[in-house]
Structure 1
Amino acid sequence: MGKAEFTFQIDEDLKEVFSAVAEAEGRSVADVLSDVMRDYVELKSDSSDYDAWFRQQVQDALDDPRPGIPHDEVMAMMDTEIARHAAGVKCGA
């Protein structure tokens, strides 16, 4: 993979402290910034993947042709499961 130059301005004090911390770890500023940028991209990619998955799950549920269960029935089932759990009985048993 080729190398590219990245030029930007930051506060001079931050630059000095950042450079000193990187140097104290025996690393170059470029290496630390590359790691930070890579981590940021990975984090955003993971978030985007999850967001896309979640949105698809919601859309699949909205598109489901099966009839829905009325809210009162769902709440009654949940109350039963909560009571069973509180009594030490496994859910669905």
Structure 2
Amino acid sequence: MPITHFIVKWPDDTEMRCYSPSTVVRDFLRPGEYAIDEFLDTANRALVAASDRVRAKFGYACSSAMDQWNVIERAAEPYRSIPAACVTVLSVD
């Protein structure tokens, strides 16, 4: 299963390289700007789908995908209360 990384730029211009165990994240995330809540919803669905692909192939969920989701969720916390906060997906590869 090909690993895919996506790079996110937070509202304070901090960049984060994120991990997915599957290319399925490309079906969810594309480079561009997302409202914070939209990004969180989309990233969560992408990582759950990636973990589900691992489960379908190997019989167990991908804990690394869920760990990545937890890192994203914690990183987003300071921005959730900022009106019009946006996250930019710089790349998905």
TM range (shorter): under 0.3
Higher relative contact order (CA 8 A, sep 6+): 2
Work out which of the two has the higher radius of gyration on C-alpha atoms and give 1 or 2. 1
- In proportion to residue count, which structure has more strand? 2
In the superposition, the TM-score normalised over structure 1's length comes to 0.28
In the superposition, the TM-score normalised over structure 2's length comes to 0.28
